[in-house]
Structures are given as structure tokens and as C-alpha cells.
């Protein structure tokens, strides 16, 4: 479960499941949270065309997300569908007439697929047109999985600049998860002078 701190613009994440749950190789128990604030390690990514790219060259900057998924995974397909749905602007007005959160900007998202050929990655990207402007990459030799301690699919990481701030394994379907994702991305709309302080970080 993700706990969203409405009093501050950053997420408050709590570890509610044992890290041992991450040892499953395919499906990970939903809502296993790994709370961290660590520099993003270096690893190599592959494009659909087969070119290699250092991950530091595809960093969207600001507050961003990385979805790590297997090619053949129902839960990962559902995660992509959820992220697609979040790109549509909400018309719901919040408490006390608060404006709804801004939609997910796919440019703030990296989708990293394992066990996929370049052609399969391209087909997956074409099947999710709402996420066309996201960065689509392959983890061909599992270097990203090793660097990020990925042991199940899907996993969603919340990052700020070059630091990993939180990591969520399993289903993203809960309403609190949706709100948390948008809250994280909406930090990019804050004036720089009003950016959350490190003391309120998860």
C-alpha cells in the first residue's frame, strides 16, 4: 500500500511487506514497497534497433518514473494500461474545490522491458499509443535488473533526478496508487523555489 501525504507534495511510503517477497521470479506480491533514497546506479540499455545506451543519457530529469516489466506478463500489461489511463486529464474537482492533478506526462516515463527482442519492443510501443512519447528500452542482458535489484514483474520506481526514491512491486490498481503516481509527477509543476525539502522526502 502507498500512503499519500496530502500535507506535503512528496509521497510518504512505508514498507508494509517483507523484502523476501521480492524473491519471486515472475509475479510479485502486490504492494510490496521498497523505500529508498539512493543514487541511481549505472547500467546499459538497448533500443529497439539494437543500439546500446548508458542509462544516464536517458534520464528525463525532475520527478520521473521507471516501469520495469517482462514481455509476457498480465500484471505488467495491466500496469501499462493504468499508466495510459493516467495520461487523460481528470475532470474531477478535489476537496474544497481543489483542481484535479495534472495528467501523467509520458515524457517523464521510462518503460524498460526484459525478455524482448527489438521487434517485440516496437510492437509493444505501437500497442500503447498514449505512451508513445515515453522512453522505451530493453534490458537485454539483465544489467538493469541486477543494478536495481529487480526480482519480479512489474516494478515501478519513483525517481528524482539521479536518485531512486521509492520502488513498488506488483499491482498498481489501487486508487491510492493512482493518486500517488500523479502526486509524484505533479511535483514537476511546483515552482523551483517551492520544491519539497529533503526533510519531507520519503
Q: What is the pTM of this model?
A: 0.78
The CA-atom distances, in angstroms, between 77 and each of 43, 45, 57, 64 are 24, 21, 26, 20
Is residue 117 assigned to a domain?
yes
> For residues 34 and 199, which has the higher predicted lDDT (pLDDT)?
34
Give me the domain span that covers residue 118.
Answer: 24-89+101-182
The secondary structure of residue 47, as a DSSP letter, is -
- pLDDT value at residue 5: 36
Is residue 198 assigned to a domain?
no
Contact between 170 and 47 under an 8 Å Cβ cutoff? The reply is no
Is residue 12 assigned to a domain?
no
Confidence category of residue 47, pLDDT binned at 50, 70, 90: very high
CATH code of the domain in which 116 resides: 3.40.30.10
Q: How many Å apart are CA 88 and CA 128, to the nearest integer?
A: 13
pLDDT tens per residue, range 71-128? 999 999 999 999 999 999 876 656 666 667 899 999 999 999 999 999 999 999 999 9
Number of Cβ within 10 Å of residue 189's Cβ equals: 12
Is residue 124 assigned to a domain?
yes
- What residue has cell string 516496437? 122
Q: How many Å apart are CA 159 and CA 45, to the nearest integer?
A: 17
Domain count within the chain: 1
Of 25-29, 99-103, 156-160, the range with the lowest mean pLDDT is 25-29
Number of Cβ within 10 Å of residue 88's Cβ equals: 10
- What residue has cell string 500500500? 1
Is residue 118 assigned to a domain?
yes
Amino acid at each position: 500500500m502507498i500512503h499519500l501525504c496530502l500535507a506535503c507534495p512528496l509521497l510518504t511510503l512505508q514498507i508494509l511487506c517483507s523484502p523476501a517477497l521480492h524473491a519471486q521470479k515472475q509475479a510479485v506480491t502486490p504492494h510490496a514497497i521498497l523505500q529508498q533514497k539512493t543514487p541511481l546506479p549505472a547500467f546499459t540499455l538497448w533500443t529497439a534497433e539494437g543500439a546500446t545506451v548508458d542509462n544516464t543519457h536517458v534520464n528525463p530529469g525532475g520527478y520521473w518514473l521507471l516501469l520495469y516489466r517482462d514481455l509476457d506478463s498480465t500484471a505488467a500489461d495491466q500496469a501499462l494500461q493504468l499508466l495510459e489511463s493516467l495520461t487523460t486529464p481528470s475532470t474531477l474537482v478535489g476537496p474544497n474545490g481543489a483542481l484535479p492533478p495534472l495528467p501523467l506526462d509520458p515524457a517523464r516515463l521510462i518503460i524498460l522491458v526484459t525478455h524482448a527482442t527489438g521487434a517485440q519492443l516496437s510492437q509493444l510501443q505501437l500497442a500503447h499509443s498514449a505512451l508513445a512519447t515515453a522512453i522505451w528500452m530493453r534490458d537485454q542482458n539483465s544489467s538493469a535488473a541486477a543494478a536495481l535489484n529487480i526480482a519480479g514483474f512489474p516494478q515501478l520506481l519513483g525517481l528524482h533526478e539521479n536518485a531512486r526514491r521509492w520502488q513498488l512491486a506488483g499491482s498498481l490498481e489501487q486508487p491510492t496508487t493512482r493518486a500517488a503516481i500523479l502526486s509524484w509527477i505533479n511535483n514537476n509543476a511546483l515552482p523551483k523555489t517551492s520544491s519539497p525539502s529533503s526533510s519531507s522526502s520519503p
